[in-house]
Amino acid sequence: MEASQKAEQSKKPKSITERLILPGAFVIMLAAVIGIYQLEPDFEALHIERTHSIGGIAMIVTGIALIALQLGFLIYMLSLYLRYKPIESVSDDLLPTCTVIVPAYNEGKLVWHTLMSLANSNYPHEKLQLIAIDDGSKDDTWHWIKLAKEQLGDRLTIHQQPKNMGKRHALHYGFTIGTGAVFVTVDSDSVVKKDTLRHMTSPFVVNKNCGAVAGNVLVLNREAVLPKMLNVSFAFTFEFVRSAQSVLGSVLCTPGALAAYRRDAVLECLPKWINQTFMGKPSDIGEDRAMTNMILKQGHHVLFQSNAYVYTNTPEKYKGLYKMFIRWERSNVRENIAMSQFAFGKFREGSTVGSRIILLEQWLRLVLCYPTLLLMLFFVALHPAMFVTSALVSILIYSSVQVFFYAKKHNLTDSFWAYPYSILYTFSLFWITPYSIATAGKGGWLTRDLPLKG
């Protein structure tokens, strides 16, 4: 598979050019900051006009303070990232028993590919239990699950829900019948590498405080333009951000595409998790972040394994993309509130300062989305040239970090997709966060109305 080959290539020794990539990023960022004063002829006049009013001065001071905060947070995350190392696989005799749960809804043949990739894992068969649950699909998903059952026999347990009850309920069924010491959940539109399960379960052996593990998610369907863009964004989000969070033992979300949990930790919070509500309504989204929060609250560490790869399908059209982001952002709002209820207390042994810093940065991003939106509309109406220039320079700075990071970790050619993705997000997806905050009480999966093509 092309995606797997690219992951293997990322392990090769880096050339001198690749070693200079990150330093080069900082040079471009510095040039961009200087260049903003050269690119916009109205900037100086606008600056003078602002400085003659108290509101203008307050705006400038606030802007500088926020930039300083973000820069400080980036430096902090970089210092953590540089300390990160994934845990290598333990030997066969030390690997724990493992139950892999695959919930599926309207996935068609994709679920068969998922189950085959899991069955072909380099994991002792006697220690591996596979469970597939069809959550009342309206297409031929159940046919492909039964076909996998015919091919895998007793290695696979299958179940069909009487009606569509939601991913959380399908996972709950798997958790209740699973027998492994570690539960692994995998989305039914994803495939794993042969050594992925080994890398996902080994941290529970090495670190007795480990309660959950997040896998490394990359994009599978990279033939279309949007998935190419998302792949670069995913790589940065997982391999940089979650690596840094892992050093603190506080990865905020174990993704649905690939996550692992200590059995005892899951069973302890399972009743509360399945009955979770928000604003008086049952929670039917954000089951991954909710489980992560509840395991963090128990005092466990939540880690990230950069060597545990899963390749997942992502939306190929704008409508599917914004629906996915809305679901994620609504979940972030809900679970930030939930995490705030315990994160500022002594929820585990050792330092918890880093966990609070990460949470506060999440809140800062959410709280500032409305002022930022109003400021953007102000610039668009009164100083459109200034807005376009500032936006493009900001895109250059932010995207260059992702470009150089992806080029260093994977390959240079695909890294440049970070630029068009940032342009797309800035000009056509900026409304996602404020809209999601305003509608955080709404549920619904949004992206599984129709089956995806296999």
> What confidence score (pLDDT) does residue 357 get?
95
448 falls in which pLDDT band (50, 70, 90)?
low
- Amino acid symbol at 243: S
pLDDT of residue 386: 80
- Give the pLDDT of residue 26: 46
Interstrand relation of 281-282 and 277-278 (parallel, antiparallel or unpaired): antiparallel
Tokens representing residue 200 in the block? 């996902």
Residue 69, pLDDT > 70, answer yes
| Least-confidence region, from 16-20, 46-50, 220-224, 346-350 | 16-20
Pairing mode, strands 210-219 and 301-312: parallel
Q: Please say whether the beta carbons of 5 and 385 come within 8 A.
A: no
Residue 220 has pLDDT above 70, yes or no: yes
Instruction: Specify the pLDDT at position 63.
Output: 67
User: In whole angstroms, what is the distance from residue 331 CA to residue 274 CA?
Assistant: 15
Torsion sign, CA atoms 135, 141, 145, 150: positive
Beta bridge partners of 258: 186
Rounded Cα gap, residues 274 and 176, in angstroms:
11
Q: Exposed/middle/buried for 16, CB within 10 Å: 0-12, 13-18, 19+? A: exposed
Q: Which two tokens stand for residue 352?
A: 């918890």
CA distance 184 to 395: 37
pTM: 0.86
For 309-355, write each residue's pLDDT tens digit. Answer: 999 999 999 999 999 999 999 999 999 999 999 999 999 999 999 99
Mean pLDDT of all residues in 165-192: 97
Structure-token pair, residue 9: 């290539």
Q: Which residue has the higher pLDDT, 27 or 270?
A: 270
Average pLDDT across the chain, whole number: 88
User: Side-chain half-sphere of 336: how many Cα atoms within 13 Å?
Assistant: 19
Quick: pLDDT tens for 278-303.
Answer: 999 999 999 999 999 999 999 999 99
Reported CATH class of domain 1-454: alpha beta
Per-residue pLDDT, 340 = 97
Q: Check residue 60 and give its pLDDT.
A: 66
256 neighbors 285 (Cβ within 8 angstroms): no
